[in-house]
Chains A and B, each alone.
Chain A
Amino acid sequence: MSAAYTIEELMAVVIARDLKDGEKGLTGLASGDRTGVLAVGIPLVAMGLAQHMHAPNLTIFYGGVIVNPRLEDIRTRFDSGAGLHRLRAMARVTPEYTFGLTRRGEIDFGFSTGAQIDRYGNSNSTCLGPYESPQARLVGSVLQTEHFSQCGREYVVMDHRQRSFVNRVDFITGAGYLDSAHAREHAGLHASGPRFVVTELAVLGFNAATKRMQLESLHPGVGVGLVQERTGFALLVPDTIPITPPPTDEELAILRHRVNPYGHLLPREVSS
């Protein structure tokens, strides 16, 4: 039995284990709110943990422009303003540099969150309801469209809510598998698409044959009923569902003492 861990630590560990040495990963810029934790905090911790564990040559592109930031130095709220300015890093590069790399196909993976994701892994951060007369206008694409079409693979980090896991997104900001097994190739998309979605309940992958969202593993203590209840469409559920392996003592120690020592990337309270 490992030490108690937060659900965000578990989510970061799940991603870290999937990253390979020598790869390059891209996140957006942080915000102090929940979106920031999902889109940037968990991804940065996952990449930092992977660097310490098994991927010392992994390169982090934070906010597209900060290369290999000293995550362990982050002692205050960090953001696109003073936090970004203060952050120590191996290099600072222009957006053209990193977005050029991304479009050349040299960024191995990226991270996203969104207001909606659907059963084919399409994601939406543009609007709720019809585009021309939206019930809610959201932030917009920012770089989400590029993430899904250009990064080698995409990790999606979400809070598991029925209103967010929808049968069909209202607007495809980021193209997942669109609507069928081979739709990405037909659309001219070369990158492989969303790798998995990790939430506070489960890891959700995509069926190899149909590209529909499928339950990969349940986090400890979570039942399949709860996951299905919080999902607005029928998930593919295999006969046997593994339990997400919890963080090991070594992973937790590195995560807390060397990657996120001041607790500004992830919340520190252990929730029940």
Chain B
Amino acid sequence: MRLEEAAALIENGSTIGVGGFGVSGHPMALLSQLARQAARELTLLGIVNGNDADLLAGAGCLRRLETSAVALEEFGLAPNFRRAVESGSISLGEYTETTMMDRLLAASMGLSFFPTRVLRGSDVPKVNLDIREIMCPYTGEMYHVVPPARPQWALLHAPAADPYGNVLYPHADPLVEFDRLLSRAADQIIVTVEKIVSTETVESASREVLVPAFKTAAVVEVPFGAHPCAFGGWYDRDVAHLRHYVEAGRTPEGFKRYLDQFILGVDGHADYLHQVGGLSHLMSLRLNGMVGL
């Protein structure tokens, strides 16, 4: 499937979960395509978001964000997220890292709530009215409870998949478990991959399959599909590009220029890769993780 067709599956107003963590491993090419296709009124559910949420906020795609963080790590505060929250243009569901995991876990098991002790004393339950209290019927202890988080779509980027959407993730770092959790909680999955491989390749490495195909609605081969994020052992983050992104995001005008140059004004992902520096630049980010695929 083409990236344009995959992005078109996501209707305006949909609830999505986006794989990755901070400025690592997000399906950025797919999110950029959503921005190009003027996706609107999306609700994003995440554990620890980063430039994924910031780009969608800056491109006007988001209505609501439920997460523990929008963290650009060493690149500082997320400029578009910050502006959107300070101006009230997106609504926020305030959670913490484990309570977002609990919400996805609840959805993955079909539960209607999940209990937690971690919020005691904090202001998080005071500003989030979806967080309620119940009493444990065994001990009488009071717990906060959080509602399930069930995205209609989990959007993931992975090293490889077969044409059916069995997602192969060799040598996955533990944070990739967040992607697996999102896939368990979601109704359907759209996955972009560095490389589409044969089903025989998947079967010979079935211990390294992150997600089996039955929920996968679309697989798209998108080399450097996480750029400018780091992507596992495959390529490092594009530090210069991310610095430029944050600098451009300081003003709405600056970010509009960024969007025009790299997102809205490019002719698809191939043109994007050319705009960000082309093959020689991208190869300088490559690590040696593709061995064996």
A contact set with B: CB distance below 8 Å: 29, 31-33, 35-36, 63, 65-66, 79-82, 84-86, 92-96, 99, 102-103, 126, 131-146, 148-150, 171-175, 178, 183-184, 187-189
The CA of A184 and the CA of B230, in the complex, are separated in Å by: 40
Cβ of B86 under 8 Å from chain A: yes
The CA of A82 and the CA of B230, in the complex, are separated in Å by: 7
Interface-located stretch among B62-70, B200-208, B251-259 = B62-70
The CA of A120 and the CA of B74, in the complex, are separated in Å by: 29
Q: How far is the CB of B195 from chain A (nearest CB, A)?
A: 18
The CA of A84 and the CA of B175, in the complex, are separated in Å by: 10
Cβ of B178 under 8 Å from chain A: yes
Point out the residues of chain A lying under 8 angstroms from B88, CB to CB. 133
Interface-located stretch among B5-13, B34-42, B118-126 = B118-126
Point out the residues of chain A lying under 8 angstroms from B122, CB to CB. 141, 145, 148-149, 172-175
| A184-B22 contact given A32-B74, A93-B174, CB 8 Å threshold | no
Point out the residues of chain A lying under 8 angstroms from B235, CB to CB. 82
Point out the residues of chain B lying under 8 angstroms from A141, CB to CB. 68-69, 94-97, 122, 124
Cβ of B233 under 8 Å from chain A: yes
User: Interface range on chain B: under 10, 10 to 19, 20 to 34, or 35 or more?
Assistant: 35 or more
Q: By the criterion CB–CB under 8 Å, are A31 and B177 in contact?
A: no
Interface-located stretch among B76-84, B151-159, B266-274, B276-284 = B76-84
Instruction: Tell me the interface secondary structure of chain A in the complex.
Output: loop
Q: By the criterion CB–CB under 8 Å, are B82 and A95 in contact?
A: no
Q: By the criterion CB–CB under 8 Å, are A139 and B77 in contact?
A: yes
Point out the residues of chain A lying under 8 angstroms from B81, CB to CB. 137
The CA of A184 and the CA of B117, in the complex, are separated in Å by: 13
| A31-B74 contact given A81-B24, A96-B101, CB 8 Å threshold | yes
Cβ of B293 under 8 Å from chain A: no
Cβ of B71 under 8 Å from chain A: yes
Point out the residues of chain B lying under 8 angstroms from A183, CB to CB. 121
Q: Which residues of B (18-70) have their CB < 8 Å from a CB of A?
A: 21-24, 48, 67-70
Q: By the criterion CB–CB under 8 Å, are A95 and B70 in contact?
A: no
The CA of A1 and the CA of B242, in the complex, are separated in Å by: 45
Cβ of B215 under 8 Å from chain A: no
| A145-B73 contact given A81-B24, A172-B123, CB 8 Å threshold | no
Q: By the criterion CB–CB under 8 Å, are B69 and A140 in contact?
A: yes
Provide a sorted-by-A list of 23 A–B residue pairs whose CB atoms are within 8 angstroms: A29-B22, A35-B74, A36-B74, A79-B24, A79-B73, A79-B230, A81-B236, A82-B287, A84-B175, A103-B117, A103-B118, A131-B123, A133-B86, A137-B82, A139-B71, A140-B71, A143-B98, A145-B96, A149-B120, A150-B117, A184-B121, A188-B141, A188-B142
Point out the residues of chain B lying under 8 angstroms from A32, CB to CB. 73-74
